[in-house]
């Protein structure tokens, strides 16, 4: 079995810049000897869902804007950099970048957290379409949608780290 420090070191970044999720999963005994995607994801999601609304909002706010200033400055986490590049967000035209910037700004002003979507398997057009649709949601709808997307991102990250069975 992994020690707490080993577990947090390995899985503390699965929820973007939010190691408390892994720490609490370990401390609450949710983590057993057999580490599989399903077991670890279930444990982490349980802690994330049990966190206070303010803590969950903090997790949402820890995510970078898509094709935003952190990407331009090269300051994304390795996971975020790979995810955004895989969707082509590192190769936007000036007009596309301007549209993402405009949507990012409007979205954060409306909801108080960045637009979050699991980009694996999507391209820039898919992401823009989702962005333009979701910006019309209510804050409660979007908080729930963003929460589900964070959980999907965590699952995809775990799939890269662990066996499925």
Examine the pLDDT at 56 and tell me if it is beyond 80: yes
Domain range list for the chain: 65-142
* Angle, in degrees to the nearest 10, between helices 4-11 and 139-161: 110
Radius of gyration (C-alpha) of the chain in whole angstroms? 16
Q: Bigger pLDDT: 156 or 86?
A: 156
Name the catalytic one among 17, 41, 63, 97: 63
**Residue 32 — very low, low, confident or very high, per pLDDT cuts 50/70/90?**
confident
What pLDDT sits at residue 70? 45
- Calpha distance 28→23 (Å, rounded): 9
The average pLDDT across 88-106 equals: 89
pLDDT digits (tens, 9 = 90+) for 106-145: 999 999 999 999 999 999 999 999 999 999 999 999 999 9
CATH topology of domain 65-142: UraD-like (1.10.3330)
Q: Does residue 41 carry a catalytic annotation?
A: no
């Amino acid at each position: 079995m992994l020690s707490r420090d080993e577990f947090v070191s390995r899985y503390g970044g699965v929820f973007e810049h939010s190691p408390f999720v892994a720490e609490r999963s370990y401390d609450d005994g949710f983590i057993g000897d057999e580490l599989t995607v399903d077991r670890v994801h279930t444990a982490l999601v349980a802690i994330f869902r049990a966190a206070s609304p303010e803590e969950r909002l903090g997790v949402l706010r820890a995510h970078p804007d898509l094709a935003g200033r952190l990407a331009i400055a090269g300051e994304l986490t390795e996971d975020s950099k790979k995810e955004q590049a895989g969707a082509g967000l590192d190769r936007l035209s000036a007009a596309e970048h301007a549209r993402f910037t405009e949507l990012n700004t409007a979205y954060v002003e409306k909801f108080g957290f960045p637009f979050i979507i699991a980009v694996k398997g999507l391209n820039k057009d898919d992401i823009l379409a989702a962005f333009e649709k979701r910006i019309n949601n209510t804050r409660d709808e979007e908080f729930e949608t963003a929460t589900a997307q964070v959980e999907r991102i965590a699952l995809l990250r775990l799939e890269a780290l662990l066996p499925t069975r």
